[in-house]
């Protein structure tokens, strides 16, 4: 069991691993709520779970209820109604999310997921307060996943998936079919869910179109994340000083016996190297530096 927890911890500590982290969060929330629901059911408090626990994750269609639970605009996208529900959502998130990561990097998969979830919530609320009766709730990552799927198809339409019985198929043919099915589903029993799918799909398309124009609609998500994580990061006590000269003279008068005076220009980091190391500390902390990077930082910290 400790090995499993270590693997999960490692997955969250790794950089550029946002896609797997999103999937793990969904699985952890699903299993956690399932355990709570089963425990309360066995104790005879099933109604308590439905009335006081589940609603903390579910997005309500009634705006009056939403005012008291605004966090559900996002939390609903990490809750699922059953095993098959989460299984298919996570599979599609993994397949199409990998395309986004390959082309745009790990960070932007988070932006698309969150923006898709918010757009999906908006689609659900609009339909629920115009055409559908009140009293319904929304759960599931489908809106966010549709945003990822459409974003991938808009960004790399000729990317190919190998489908069972069909062979290689470009995603520019797969995604439109799924969007059309979601639209047709507006006339079915899961109309609210389909509205969330379409809202997420629209956001995925808009995100990529704007990104190609140089507008990153998810930039605020990066800023918010950095602000929050910055509150918990330990600030390095290493003080670095450098002069305007291209090459610095490094002395070891205050150095530990384990370090020797730099004997060649290669031992002295230049301005760009120092800046890159400082950026890495700001992003991932001092402990993430390699032995060589720590040595360079040590050398640069000496007074000229």
Catalytic-role residue among 197, 241, 263, 301? 197
Residue 159 annotated among the catalytic residues of the structure:
no
If you search the block for the tokens 């290669």, which residue do you land on?
A: 266
Other Cβ atoms less than 10 A from the Cβ of 152: the count is 29
Q: Please state, in angstroms and rounded to a whole number, the distance separating the CA atoms of residues 91 and 98.
A: 11
286 backbone dihedrals φ, ψ, rounded to 5°: -65, -35
Q: Give the 3-state DSSP-derived string for the chain, with helices as H, strands as E and coil as C.
A: CHHHHHHHHHHHHCCCCHHHHHHHHHHHHHHHHHHHHHHHHHCCCHHHHHHHHHHHCCEECCHHHHHHCCCHHHHHHHCCCCHHHHHHHHHHHHHHHHHHHHHHCCHHHHHHHHHHHHHHHHHHHHHHCCCCCCCCEECCCHHHHHHHHHHHHHHCCCCEEEECCCEEEEHHHHHHHHHHHHHHHHHCCCHHHHHHHHHHHHHHHHHHHHHHCCCCCCHHHHHHHHHHHHHHCCCCCCCCCCCCCCCCCCCCCCCCCCCCCCCCHHHCCCHHHHHHHHHHHHHHCHHHCCHHHHHHHHHHCCCC
Residue 61 annotated among the catalytic residues of the structure:
no
- Cβ atoms of 288 and 280 closer than 8 Å: yes
Q: Please state, in angstroms and rounded to a whole number, the distance separating the CA atoms of residues 79 and 144.
A: 12
Catalytic-role residue among 111, 128, 142, 248? 142
| Residues catalogued as catalytic | 142, 197
């Amino acid at each position: 069991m400790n090995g499993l927890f270590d693997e999960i911890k490692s997955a969250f500590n790794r950089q550029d691993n946002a896609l797997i982290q999103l999937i793990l969060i969904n699985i952890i929330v699903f299993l956690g709520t399932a355990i709570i629901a089963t425990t309360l059911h066995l104790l005879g408090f099933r109604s308590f779970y439905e009335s006081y626990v589940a609603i903390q994750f579910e997005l309500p269609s009634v705006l009056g209820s939403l005012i008291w639970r605004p966090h559900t605009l996002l939390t609903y996208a990490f809750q699922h109604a059953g095993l098959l529900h989460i299984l298919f959502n996570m599979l599609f998130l993994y397949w199409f999310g990998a395309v986004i990561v390959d082309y745009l990097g790990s960070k932007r998969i988070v932006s698309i997921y969150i923006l898709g979830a918010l757009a999906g919530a908006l689609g659900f609320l609009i339909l629920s307060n115009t055409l559908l009766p009140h009293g319904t709730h929304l759960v599931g990552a489908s809106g966010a996943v549709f945003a990822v799927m459409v974003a991938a198809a808009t960004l790399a339409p000729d990317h190919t998936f190998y489908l069972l019985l069909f062979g290689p198929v470009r995603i520019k043919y797969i995604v439109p079919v799924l969007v059309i099915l979601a639209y047709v589903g507006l006339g079915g029993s899961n109309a609210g869910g389909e509205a969330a799918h379409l809202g997420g799909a629209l956001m995925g398309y808009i995100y990529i179109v704007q990104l190609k124009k140089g507008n990153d609609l998810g930039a605020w998500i990066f800023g918010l994340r950095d602000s929050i994580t910055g509150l918990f990061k330990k600030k390095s006590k290493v003080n670095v000083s450098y002069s305007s000269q291209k090459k610095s003279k490094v002395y070891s008068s205050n150095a530990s016996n384990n370090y020797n005076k730099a004997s060649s220009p290669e031992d002295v980091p230049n301005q760009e190297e120092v800046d890159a190391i400082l950026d890495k500390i700001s992003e991932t902390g001092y402990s993430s530096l390699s032995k060589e990077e720590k040595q360079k930082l040590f050398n640069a910290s000496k007074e000229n």
